[in-house]
Amino acid sequence: MANTKYYRLSYRDDPSTTIVIGWSDDIVSTNAMVYYGTVDHGTNWSSYPLSHGIDRSSSYIGLTNNFAELTGLTPGTKYFLLLRMI
């Protein structure tokens, strides 16, 4: 299991329907998944209706930065997410 840290959100396209989730970890986590939806399921990742893997990774000075772009979001809606390192 990797320790994650330095979470951030950024925008690339339409900020009402798309967001990029960024995080850092101590290893290269090529199989990490972001699980998300409009209901908070806590740590029960299999209950979240949507998921997305890593779109881009970069490493610098022993820190791996991962980014997942979530698209098709509904404007004005609160989303909950869970980051699962596989």
Give mean pLDDT, residues 9-17.
Answer: 92
Q: Please report the pLDDT score of residue 21 as a whole number.
A: 96
From residue 19, give the alpha-carbon distance in Å to each of 1, 13, 38, 79, 84: 26, 8, 15, 11, 18
**Model confidence, pTM:** 0.88
Q: Which domains are present in the chain?
A: 4-84 (2.60.40)
8 A C-beta contact, residue 57 and residue 23: no
φ and ψ at residue 45, rounded to 5 degrees: -60, -35
Q: Provide the 10 A C-beta neighbour count for residue 72.
A: 7
pLDDT reported for residue 30: 67
Higher pLDDT, residue 8 or 59: 8
Digit-coded pLDDT (tens) for 17-69: 999 999 998 766 668 899 999 999 999 999 999 999 999 998 888 788 999 99
